[in-house]
Chains A and B, each alone.
Chain A
Amino acid sequence: MKIVLLLILLTAALHAQTLPYERIVNSAREPGHWLTYSGNYSSHHYSPLAQINRLNVVRLQPKWIYQVRGREHFEAMPIVFDGVMYITDPPSDVTALDVRTGRPLWHYRRAIPEGIPACCGQVNRGVAVLDDLVYIATIDAHLVALDAKSGAVRWDVEVADYKQAITLTAAPLAIKDKIIVGMAGAEYGVRGFLDAYDAKTGRCAWRFWTTPGPGEPGNETWSGDSWQRGGATTWVTGSYDPDLDLLYWGTGNPGPDYDGTVREGDNLYSDSVIALSGATGKLKWHFQFLPHDVNDLDSNQIPVLLNAPWQGKPRKLMLFANRNAFYYVLDRETGEFLKATQFTRQNWAKGIDVKGRPIPTNTTTVNAEGVLVYPDDDGSSNWFSPSYSPRTGLFYQNVREKGAYYYKADTRFRPGQLYLGATKRDIPNEEPYGTMKALRALTGEKVWEFRMQSPPWCGALATAGDVVFSGTMEGDFFALDAWNGKVLWRFQTGGEIWANPISYRSEGKQYVAIAAGSALMVFGLD
Chain B
Amino acid sequence: MLAAAAVPLFLLMMQAPSGDSIYAGQCAICHGQRGEGGRGPSLNRTKLRHASDDTALRRIIRHGLPGTGMPATWLNEVELVEVAGFVRSLSNARKPQAELPGNAERGRAIFAGKGACVQCHVVNGAGGAFGPALTGIAAQRSAGHLRQSIVDPGADVPPSFVLLRAETAGGRTVTGARVNEDTFSVQIRDAAGTLHSFWKTELKMLKKELGKSAMPSYATSLTGPELDDLVRYLAGLGETEAQ
Residues of A within 8 A of B (CB): 224-225, 228-229, 262, 368, 407-415, 417-420, 422-426, 428-431, 451-453, 472, 474-476, 478, 487, 490, 492
Contacts and interface: CB of A to CB of B under 8 A. Distances in A.
Given A413-B6, A423-B73, A476 B184 contact: yes
A478 B184 CA distance: 10
Interface in B21-41: 22, 25-26
Given A224-B9, A262-B9, A423-B75, A490 B17 contact: no
B74 A429 contact: no
Given A415-B2, A415-B3, A453 B182 contact: yes
Interface string B76-90: 111100000000000
A350 B210 CA distance: 30
B182 A475 contact: yes
Given A409-B22, A429-B211, A451-B183, 20 more contacts: A225-B5, A225-B9, A229-B2, A368-B25, A409-B75, A410-B17, A411-B13, A413-B6, A413-B9, A414-B77, A414-B78, A418-B74, A418-B75, A418-B76, A422-B74, A423-B75, A430-B210, A472-B182, A474-B183, A487-B184
B16 interface: yes
Contacts of A229: 2, 6
B10 interface: yes
Interface size class of B (residues with CB under 8 A): 20 to 34
A16 B79 CA distance: 56
A419 B25 contact: no
A117 to B, nearest CB: 10
Contacts of B204: none
Contacts of B22: 409
10 contacts: A262-B12, A409-B22, A409-B74, A410-B17, A412-B14, A412-B78, A413-B10, A428-B211, A431-B210, A453-B181
Contacts, number: 90
A410 B6 contact: no
B79 A410 contact: yes
A133 to B, nearest CB: 34
Interface string B157-198: 101001000000000000000000111100000000000000
Nearest to B181: A453
B79 A409 contact: yes
A424 B74 contact: yes
A417 B73 contact: no
Contacts of B211: 428-429
Nearest to B79: A410
Contact of B17 (A228, A409, A419, A430): A409
A410 B16 contact: yes
A367 to B, nearest CB: 10
Contacts of A430: 210
A485 to B, nearest CB: 13
B106 interface: no
A423 B78 CA distance: 14
B8 to A, nearest CB: 8
Interface of B: 2-3, 5-6, 8-10, 12-14, 16-17, 22, 25-26, 71, 73-79, 157, 159, 162, 181-184, 208, 210-211
B210 A419 contact: no
A472 B183 CA distance: 8
Interface centre among B3, B9, B71, B210 (most CB of A within 10 A): B9
Nearest to B201: A487
Contact of B182 (A368, A411, A417, A476): A476
A425 B71 contact: yes
Given A410-B17, A428-B159, A417 B184 contact: no
B16 A411 contact: yes
A431 B79 CA distance: 30
Given A431-B208, A472-B183, A407 B25 contact: yes
Contact of B77 (A262, A417, A428): A417
B5 A228 contact: yes
Nearest to A490: B184
Contacts of A426: 71
B159 to A, nearest CB: 7
Contacts of A228: 2, 5-6
B78 A410 contact: yes
A414 B74 CA distance: 15
A224 B7 CA distance: 12
Nearest to A224: B9
A426 B12 CA distance: 31
Nearest to A416: B77
Interface centre among B14, B26, B76, B210 (most CB of A within 10 A): B76
A429 B163 CA distance: 12
Given A262-B9, A428-B211, A410 B183 contact: no
B5 to A, nearest CB: 5
Given A410-B17, A411-B16, A413-B9, A452 B75 contact: no
Contacts of B162: 431
A298 to B, nearest CB: 16
Interface centre among A368, A423, A424, A492 (most CB of B within 10 A): A423
A240 to B, nearest CB: 33
Nearest to B22: A409
A429 to B, nearest CB: 4
A415 B210 CA distance: 42
Given A407-B26, A453-B182, A478-B183, A225 B6 contact: yes
